[in-house]
Amino acid sequence: MPPLTEHDVEAFMGRFKLLLIVGGLLLGALILGGLLYMDARLETVRDALHFRNPENAARESITVEAPQSAINAVDGQTVYVPAYSHIYHQDGRSYLLTVTLSVRNTDPEHEIVVTSVHYYNTEGKLVKDHLDQPRRLAPLATAEFLVERDDTSGGSGANFLVEWVAEQPVTEPIVETVMIDTLGQQGISFARVGKPIKKVTPAEGE
């Protein structure tokens, strides 16, 4: 075998560098394609999980409208739920929060009917009625209501009054608020569970 000349070595190194460049470009293209695919998938997931108001949820059989006259209530409650559209920090500056009210039917067999969702501000004044008509909530289903971060009408002492009824005895639903903010380098989140303040009796449902 003849010895390698300097020209042979340079030619080999040139081909080797070319292979490295081509391989690097192919690897970079594969990585970029993978990142774009993952970003598209994440965007699809984010869109699927984006908050949907009760009217849209009703069309997807999570809840359905229930005429008040058609409800023969034998069980139910009015639930007070604390909410904080902002809290205070440092020297008293306000920290805005997004509020999600969650009404969870815990009964595995029977539906409940959410008859009203009223949102009150710190002064106790009605700010918004989040439900225009009573809505039936299927067994183990959940209804959610959103107060956006920039909605400051409620204040630090805001609250919901949620009324629900059932046409047969049911397990008590869980009614709670979740407050969260993720802007900046430090996020914050906490939850508050509602307190029943009034019970519906069979006589009230007649």
What pTM does this model have? Answer: 0.68
Q: What pLDDT does residue 60 have? A: 43
Q: What pLDDT does residue 65 have? A: 56
CB atoms within 10 A of CB 50: 7
- The parts of the chain modelled with pLDDT lower than 70 are 1-4, 6-9, 38-70, 184, 201-206
Q: What pLDDT does residue 59 have? A: 42
Q: What pLDDT does residue 58 have? A: 46
Q: What pLDDT does residue 206 have? A: 47
3 state SS of 134: coil
pLDDT in tens, 111-153: 999 999 999 999 999 999 999 999 999 999 999 999 999 999 9
Q: What pLDDT does residue 28 have? A: 85
User: Per-residue b/e over 55-68, b at no fewer than 16 CB within 10 Å?
Assistant: eebbeeebbbebee
Containing 11, the helix (H) or strand (E) segment is helix 6-49
